[in-house]
Chains A and B, each alone.
Chain A
Amino acid sequence: MLDWKKVVREKVGSLPLKGGRHEDVIDELAQQLESSYEEAVANGASESEAKRRSLAQFSDWEKLRSEVFRSVEGTPLPIWEQNGIFSPRRLPVWIALAVALAFLALPSFRKALQILPFPGRKDAWDTTAFSAEALQGVERTGDKQKYARTLAYVALHNPDDHQAVLAAEKAIALDPQLTWICAQVSHATYLEPGHNPKPWIDRLKAWDPDNAYVYLLEADANVYTEWETRWAKYNAATGELRRALAAESHWRIPMERTFSAPHVDTYVERHFLLDRDVLMERGLDRPDMLGLAVSSAQLPNFFALGTYADHLRLDVGEGEERTGHGENALAAYRSVASFGQKLQGGSSTPIEHIFAAKFQEDAYKKMIPLLRREGRDLETCVVESALAAVGTENPDKHGLFKARLQSPAFRSGQMVFIWGLILVVFTITAALWLICVALLRAKPDLSRPMNWLASYLGCAPALLSLSCLALLSSFFPYSRSIAEYSLGGQLYETYGSFFAGVSSLRLDPILDVWIDHMFWPLIWCAVILIFGAICLRYARWRRHTDPSGAE
Chain B
Amino acid sequence: MGKTLDRELKKGSAELLILALLEEKARHGYEIGKLIDERSEGVVRFHVASLYPLLYRLERRGWVKGDWEPAGGRRRRFYRLTASGRKTLASQRARWREFSGAMNRIVEVRRA
Contacts and interface: CB of A to CB of B under 8 A. Distances in A.
A32 B48 contact: yes
Interface stretch (A61-69, A218-226, A315-323): A61-69
A71 interface: yes
Contacts of A60: 49
Interface string B49-80: 11011111101111100101000001111000
A71 B56 contact: yes
B70 to A, nearest CB: 12
Interface residues of B, number: 34
A32 B32 CA distance: 11
A24 B52 CA distance: 12
A332 to B, nearest CB: 80
B13 interface: no
Contacts of A548: 83-84, 87
Nearest to A67: B53
Interface in B13-36: 28-30, 33
Nearest to A58: B49
Interface in A66-83: 67-68, 70-74
Given A28-B29, A32-B48, A546-B84, A64 B53 contact: yes
A549 B74 contact: no
A544 interface: yes
A72 to B, nearest CB: 5
A547 B53 contact: no
B88 A551 contact: yes
Nearest to B95: A551
Main secondary structure of the interface of A (DSSP, over half): helix
B91 interface: yes
A545 B62 contact: yes
A549 B83 contact: yes
Given A544-B62, A549-B85, A64 B29 contact: no
A550 interface: yes
Interface residues of A, number: 30
Nearest to A73: B60
B30 A32 contact: yes
A136 interface: no
Interface string A34-68: 01100000000000000000000111100110011
A545 B61 CA distance: 6
B88 A28 contact: no
Given A68-B56, A71-B54, A72-B60, A31 B76 contact: yes
A31 B30 contact: yes
Interface centre among A27, A35, A63 (most CB of B within 10 A): A35
Nearest to B89: A549
B52 A32 contact: yes
Contact of A547 (B30, B56, B62, B76): B62
A27 B28 CA distance: 12
A36 B33 CA distance: 11
A27 B53 CA distance: 14
Nearest to B55: A71
A29 B52 contact: yes
Contacts of A64: 49, 52-53
A28 B77 contact: yes
21 contacts: A25-B52, A27-B75, A28-B29, A28-B52, A32-B29, A35-B30, A57-B49, A58-B48, A59-B49, A64-B49, A64-B52, A68-B52, A70-B53, A71-B54, A71-B57, A547-B83, A548-B84, A549-B62, A549-B82, A549-B84, A549-B85
Given A57-B49, A72-B59, A549-B82, 19 more contacts: A25-B52, A25-B56, A27-B75, A28-B77, A31-B74, A31-B76, A32-B30, A35-B30, A57-B48, A59-B49, A71-B60, A72-B56, A544-B60, A544-B61, A544-B62, A545-B62, A549-B86, A549-B87, A550-B87
Closest 10 A/B residue pairs (Cβ): A549-B84, A549-B87, A71-B56, A67-B53, A71-B57, A71-B53, A551-B91, A57-B48, A35-B30, A544-B61
